[in-house]
Amino acid sequence: MTSTDKNSIVKSIFAGILVAVCLFSAVVLLGNSWIKIMVISLIIVSSVVWLVSHGVLKRVFKYLIIAVMVFALCFAALEGYLLWNAGYPPTFMPSQPGVTISYPTILNASLTQIVQSAKNTPTFSLITLEYPGKITFESMKLDTTFRGGSIEVVLYQQSSNLGFKFRASSGHSYRATIFQWDRYPLSQMFPQEQTPEETLNQIDTLGLRWFYDRAIEAYQNKTGVHPDINNLQVSIQWENYGTYQGMTLLLIGYKGTYTGQGVFVANFQPNGTLLYLNIIN
Protein backbone atom coordinates (compact mmCIF):
# COMPACT_ATOMS: atom_id res chain seq x y z
CA MET A 1 0.00 0.00 0.00
CA THR A 2 1.43 3.34 -1.06
CA SER A 3 1.61 6.41 1.17
CA THR A 4 -1.01 8.05 -1.05
CA ASP A 5 -3.46 5.20 -0.37
CA LYS A 6 -2.79 5.43 3.36
CA ASN A 7 -3.41 9.17 3.36
CA SER A 8 -6.62 8.67 1.42
CA ILE A 9 -7.84 6.09 3.94
CA VAL A 10 -6.94 8.32 6.89
CA LYS A 11 -8.74 11.27 5.31
CA SER A 12 -11.81 9.14 4.62
CA ILE A 13 -11.92 7.84 8.19
CA PHE A 14 -11.44 11.33 9.60
CA ALA A 15 -14.16 12.73 7.33
CA GLY A 16 -16.50 9.90 8.31
CA ILE A 17 -15.95 10.47 12.03
CA LEU A 18 -16.48 14.21 11.58
CA VAL A 19 -19.71 13.67 9.65
CA ALA A 20 -20.94 11.16 12.24
CA VAL A 21 -20.26 13.57 15.11
CA CYS A 22 -21.99 16.44 13.32
CA LEU A 23 -24.99 14.33 12.43
CA PHE A 24 -25.26 12.90 15.94
CA SER A 25 -25.28 16.45 17.27
CA ALA A 26 -27.98 17.31 14.76
CA VAL A 27 -30.12 14.40 16.02
CA VAL A 28 -29.95 15.83 19.53
CA LEU A 29 -30.92 19.29 18.29
CA LEU A 30 -33.71 18.15 15.98
CA GLY A 31 -35.84 16.75 18.79
CA ASN A 32 -38.46 14.13 17.97
CA SER A 33 -38.85 14.50 14.21
CA TRP A 34 -38.79 10.84 13.18
CA ILE A 35 -38.25 11.78 9.53
CA LYS A 36 -35.10 13.79 10.26
CA ILE A 37 -33.80 11.20 12.71
CA MET A 38 -34.37 8.44 10.14
CA VAL A 39 -32.61 10.40 7.40
CA ILE A 40 -29.64 11.22 9.61
CA SER A 41 -29.41 7.63 10.88
CA LEU A 42 -29.46 6.35 7.31
CA ILE A 43 -26.67 8.75 6.33
CA ILE A 44 -24.56 7.71 9.32
CA VAL A 45 -25.01 3.96 8.69
CA SER A 46 -24.43 4.34 4.96
CA SER A 47 -21.31 6.45 5.58
CA VAL A 48 -19.85 3.82 7.90
CA VAL A 49 -20.56 1.02 5.41
CA TRP A 50 -19.11 3.12 2.59
CA LEU A 51 -15.90 3.69 4.58
CA VAL A 52 -15.29 0.00 5.28
CA SER A 53 -16.56 -1.52 2.01
CA HIS A 54 -14.85 -2.01 -1.35
CA GLY A 55 -15.73 -2.37 -5.01
CA VAL A 56 -19.37 -2.42 -6.14
CA LEU A 57 -20.74 -2.19 -2.58
CA LYS A 58 -18.73 0.97 -1.96
CA ARG A 59 -20.13 2.59 -5.12
CA VAL A 60 -23.69 1.58 -4.22
CA PHE A 61 -23.48 3.20 -0.80
CA LYS A 62 -21.79 6.24 -2.27
CA TYR A 63 -24.81 6.89 -4.48
CA LEU A 64 -27.18 5.99 -1.65
CA ILE A 65 -25.57 8.64 0.55
CA ILE A 66 -25.87 11.19 -2.26
CA ALA A 67 -29.54 10.30 -2.81
CA VAL A 68 -30.38 10.56 0.88
CA MET A 69 -28.57 13.89 1.16
CA VAL A 70 -30.48 15.24 -1.84
CA PHE A 71 -33.72 14.11 -0.20
CA ALA A 72 -32.66 15.74 3.07
CA LEU A 73 -31.94 19.04 1.33
CA CYS A 74 -35.26 18.95 -0.54
CA PHE A 75 -37.17 18.10 2.64
CA ALA A 76 -35.43 20.89 4.56
CA ALA A 77 -36.27 23.36 1.78
CA LEU A 78 -39.92 22.24 1.73
CA GLU A 79 -40.21 22.45 5.50
CA GLY A 80 -38.58 25.88 5.57
CA TYR A 81 -40.96 27.16 2.90
CA LEU A 82 -44.06 25.80 4.64
CA LEU A 83 -43.02 27.15 8.03
CA TRP A 84 -42.45 30.59 6.53
CA ASN A 85 -45.63 30.55 4.40
CA ALA A 86 -48.22 28.84 6.58
CA GLY A 87 -51.38 30.33 5.10
CA TYR A 88 -53.49 33.31 6.14
CA PRO A 89 -55.90 33.77 9.04
CA PRO A 90 -59.59 34.23 8.13
CA THR A 91 -59.45 37.88 9.25
CA PHE A 92 -57.07 38.77 6.40
CA MET A 93 -58.70 40.56 3.46
CA PRO A 94 -56.89 40.96 0.11
CA SER A 95 -58.47 44.41 -0.18
CA GLN A 96 -56.42 45.42 2.90
CA PRO A 97 -53.02 43.86 2.13
CA GLY A 98 -51.19 45.36 5.11
CA VAL A 99 -53.73 44.36 7.74
CA THR A 100 -54.03 41.06 9.61
CA ILE A 101 -56.66 42.23 12.10
CA SER A 102 -57.91 45.67 13.09
CA TYR A 103 -60.17 47.50 15.50
CA PRO A 104 -63.15 47.31 15.65
CA THR A 105 -63.41 44.39 13.17
CA ILE A 106 -61.60 42.27 15.77
CA LEU A 107 -64.95 42.11 17.59
CA ASN A 108 -66.41 40.06 14.70
CA ALA A 109 -63.61 37.48 14.68
CA SER A 110 -64.35 33.79 15.26
CA LEU A 111 -61.78 32.16 17.54
CA THR A 112 -62.71 28.69 16.30
CA GLN A 113 -62.15 29.69 12.68
CA ILE A 114 -58.78 31.26 13.52
CA VAL A 115 -57.53 28.06 15.20
CA GLN A 116 -58.87 25.96 12.33
CA SER A 117 -57.17 28.24 9.81
CA ALA A 118 -53.84 27.22 11.35
CA LYS A 119 -54.75 23.53 11.56
CA ASN A 120 -56.03 23.36 7.97
CA THR A 121 -52.69 24.35 6.45
CA PRO A 122 -50.14 22.09 4.71
CA THR A 123 -47.73 23.28 7.40
CA PHE A 124 -49.80 21.72 10.17
CA SER A 125 -50.17 18.52 8.10
CA LEU A 126 -46.38 18.32 7.85
CA ILE A 127 -46.07 18.91 11.61
CA THR A 128 -48.48 16.07 12.38
CA LEU A 129 -46.51 13.82 9.99
CA GLU A 130 -43.17 14.66 11.61
CA TYR A 131 -44.42 14.60 15.19
CA PRO A 132 -47.11 11.91 15.59
CA GLY A 133 -49.34 12.30 18.63
CA LYS A 134 -52.15 14.44 19.94
CA ILE A 135 -51.69 18.20 19.50
CA THR A 136 -53.90 20.43 21.65
CA PHE A 137 -54.74 24.12 21.87
CA GLU A 138 -52.71 26.08 24.42
CA SER A 139 -53.27 29.80 23.90
CA MET A 140 -54.26 32.54 21.49
CA LYS A 141 -53.75 36.28 21.18
CA LEU A 142 -55.33 38.86 18.89
CA ASP A 143 -53.73 42.31 18.99
CA THR A 144 -54.50 45.58 17.19
CA THR A 145 -52.14 47.84 19.18
CA PHE A 146 -49.65 48.20 16.34
CA ARG A 147 -49.93 48.82 12.62
CA GLY A 148 -51.64 45.95 10.82
CA GLY A 149 -52.36 43.94 13.97
CA SER A 150 -51.32 40.39 14.77
CA ILE A 151 -52.75 36.95 15.51
CA GLU A 152 -50.92 34.23 17.42
CA VAL A 153 -52.04 30.64 17.98
CA VAL A 154 -49.98 28.30 20.16
CA LEU A 155 -50.49 24.52 20.17
CA TYR A 156 -48.88 21.92 22.41
CA GLN A 157 -47.93 18.24 22.12
CA GLN A 158 -47.46 16.47 25.42
CA SER A 159 -45.77 13.34 24.04
CA SER A 160 -42.87 15.34 22.57
CA ASN A 161 -43.13 18.37 24.90
CA LEU A 162 -43.06 20.61 21.84
CA GLY A 163 -44.88 23.84 21.11
CA PHE A 164 -46.10 24.95 17.68
CA LYS A 165 -46.68 28.66 17.19
CA PHE A 166 -48.53 30.19 14.25
CA ARG A 167 -48.17 33.98 14.08
CA ALA A 168 -49.38 36.41 11.43
CA SER A 169 -48.92 40.18 11.50
CA SER A 170 -49.33 43.27 9.32
CA GLY A 171 -50.99 41.38 6.48
CA HIS A 172 -48.33 38.67 6.18
CA SER A 173 -49.05 34.95 6.19
CA TYR A 174 -48.65 32.80 9.27
CA ARG A 175 -45.04 32.15 10.25
CA ALA A 176 -44.85 28.81 12.07
CA THR A 177 -42.18 27.93 14.60
CA ILE A 178 -41.46 24.70 16.46
CA PHE A 179 -39.93 25.00 19.91
CA GLN A 180 -39.13 22.93 22.97
CA TRP A 181 -41.57 23.67 25.78
CA ASP A 182 -39.44 24.93 28.68
CA ARG A 183 -42.17 25.18 31.30
CA TYR A 184 -45.16 23.20 32.49
CA PRO A 185 -48.08 24.05 30.17
CA LEU A 186 -50.92 25.92 31.86
CA SER A 187 -53.45 23.67 30.12
CA GLN A 188 -52.05 20.79 32.19
CA MET A 189 -51.97 22.83 35.41
CA PHE A 190 -55.56 24.07 35.16
CA PRO A 191 -57.55 21.32 33.41
CA GLN A 192 -61.25 21.67 32.69
CA GLU A 193 -64.09 19.33 31.76
CA GLN A 194 -64.72 20.94 28.38
CA THR A 195 -62.35 20.44 25.50
CA PRO A 196 -60.61 23.57 24.19
CA GLU A 197 -62.68 23.30 21.02
CA GLU A 198 -65.92 23.29 23.03
CA THR A 199 -64.76 26.30 25.04
CA LEU A 200 -63.81 28.31 21.95
CA ASN A 201 -67.17 27.48 20.42
CA GLN A 202 -68.89 28.63 23.62
CA ILE A 203 -67.08 31.97 23.41
CA ASP A 204 -67.93 32.30 19.71
CA THR A 205 -71.60 31.62 20.44
CA LEU A 206 -71.71 34.75 22.60
CA GLY A 207 -69.24 36.60 20.37
CA LEU A 208 -66.31 38.86 21.16
CA ARG A 209 -68.53 41.91 20.72
CA TRP A 210 -70.82 40.64 23.50
CA PHE A 211 -67.85 40.24 25.87
CA TYR A 212 -66.55 43.67 24.88
CA ASP A 213 -69.93 45.29 25.57
CA ARG A 214 -70.05 43.65 29.03
CA ALA A 215 -66.57 45.01 29.77
CA ILE A 216 -67.64 48.51 28.70
CA GLU A 217 -70.75 48.27 30.91
CA ALA A 218 -68.66 47.15 33.89
CA TYR A 219 -66.23 50.03 33.28
CA GLN A 220 -69.08 52.55 33.16
CA ASN A 221 -70.67 51.16 36.32
CA LYS A 222 -67.35 51.43 38.11
CA THR A 223 -66.22 54.86 36.87
CA GLY A 224 -69.39 56.60 35.67
CA VAL A 225 -67.85 57.39 32.27
CA HIS A 226 -67.59 55.65 28.90
CA PRO A 227 -64.02 54.48 28.14
CA ASP A 228 -62.22 55.91 25.13
CA ILE A 229 -61.03 52.76 23.34
CA ASN A 230 -59.52 52.51 19.87
CA ASN A 231 -57.43 49.34 20.16
CA LEU A 232 -57.85 45.97 21.78
CA GLN A 233 -55.96 42.86 22.82
CA VAL A 234 -57.85 39.58 23.13
CA SER A 235 -56.14 36.61 24.81
CA ILE A 236 -57.32 33.08 25.45
CA GLN A 237 -55.35 31.50 28.25
CA TRP A 238 -55.57 29.08 31.17
CA GLU A 239 -55.99 30.45 34.68
CA ASN A 240 -56.90 29.61 38.24
CA TYR A 241 -58.92 32.48 39.72
CA GLY A 242 -60.96 32.04 42.88
CA THR A 243 -63.11 28.94 42.53
CA TYR A 244 -62.72 28.84 38.75
CA GLN A 245 -59.99 27.15 36.76
CA GLY A 246 -59.71 26.61 33.05
CA MET A 247 -59.70 28.74 29.92
CA THR A 248 -60.49 32.45 30.21
CA LEU A 249 -61.03 35.34 27.82
CA LEU A 250 -58.88 38.36 28.65
CA LEU A 251 -59.73 41.73 27.10
CA ILE A 252 -57.36 44.70 27.38
CA GLY A 253 -58.66 48.00 26.05
CA TYR A 254 -56.23 50.67 24.85
CA LYS A 255 -56.40 54.33 23.95
CA GLY A 256 -53.86 54.76 21.19
CA THR A 257 -51.47 52.29 19.63
CA TYR A 258 -48.97 51.86 22.45
CA THR A 259 -49.31 49.17 25.07
CA GLY A 260 -48.51 51.71 27.79
CA GLN A 261 -51.86 53.44 27.14
CA GLY A 262 -54.06 50.77 28.67
CA VAL A 263 -57.57 51.68 29.87
CA PHE A 264 -58.95 48.48 31.40
CA VAL A 265 -58.34 44.75 31.81
CA ALA A 266 -61.40 42.49 31.87
CA ASN A 267 -61.25 38.72 32.40
CA PHE A 268 -64.21 36.44 31.66
CA GLN A 269 -65.18 32.83 32.01
CA PRO A 270 -66.23 31.32 28.65
CA ASN A 271 -69.90 31.45 29.75
CA GLY A 272 -69.72 35.24 30.10
CA THR A 273 -69.18 35.52 33.85
CA LEU A 274 -66.90 38.46 34.64
CA LEU A 275 -64.04 37.31 36.87
CA TYR A 276 -62.57 40.76 37.39
CA LEU A 277 -62.22 44.23 35.90
CA ASN A 278 -59.12 46.34 36.55
CA ILE A 279 -59.11 50.02 35.67
CA ILE A 280 -55.73 51.15 34.33
CA ASN A 281 -56.40 54.76 33.31
Q: How confident is the prediction along the chain (281 residues), in pLDDT tens digits per residue?
A: 555 555 555 555 555 555 555 555 454 445 577 777 777 777 777 777 776 777 777 777 777 777 888 888 888 889 999 999 999 999 988 888 899 999 989 999 999 999 999 999 999 999 999 999 999 999 999 999 988 999 999 999 988 899 999 999 999 999 999 999 988 888 888 888 899 999 999 999 999 999 999 999 999 999 999 999 999 999 999 999 989 999 999 999 998 766 568 899 999 999 999 999 999 86
Residues 208 and 161 in one domain: yes
Torsion-angle region of 190 (φ positive above 0: left; ψ -120 to 50: alpha; else: beta): beta
Q: Over the stretch 215-246, which tens digit does the pLDDT of each residue have?
A: 999 999 999 999 999 999 999 999 999 899 99
> For residue 153, is it within any domain?
yes
Identify whether 96 is part of a domain: no
Residue 99 lies in a domain: no
Coil/strand/helix, residue 254 = strand
Domain of residue 44 covers 3-84
Domain boundary residue, one of 84, 113, 130: 84
Q: pTM (2 decimals)? A: 0.83
64 and 135 co-located in one domain: no
Residues 40 and 134 in one domain: no
Distance CA 187, CA 195 (A): 11
Domain count, the chain: 2
Please compute, for residue 213, the number of CA atoms within 13 A of its CA located in the half-sphere on the CB side: 7
Residue whose C-alpha is closest to residue 178's, from 81, 33, 76, 23 = 33
Claim to verify: residue 55 and residue 151 sit in the same structural domain = no
Q: Is residue 170 located within the same domain as residue 213? A: yes
148 with 235, same domain? yes
3-state secondary structure 143-204: ECCCCCCEEEEEEEECCCCEEEEEEEECCCCCEEEEEECCCCCHHHHCCCCCCHHHHHHHHH
Q: How far is the C-alpha of 254 from the C-alpha of 53, rounded, in Å?
A: 69
Which of 25, 50, 84 is the C-terminal boundary of a domain?
84
Whether residue 192 lies inside any domain: the answer is yes
Query: How many residues make up the chain in this entry?
Result: 281
Q: Are residues 11 and 124 in the same domain?
A: no
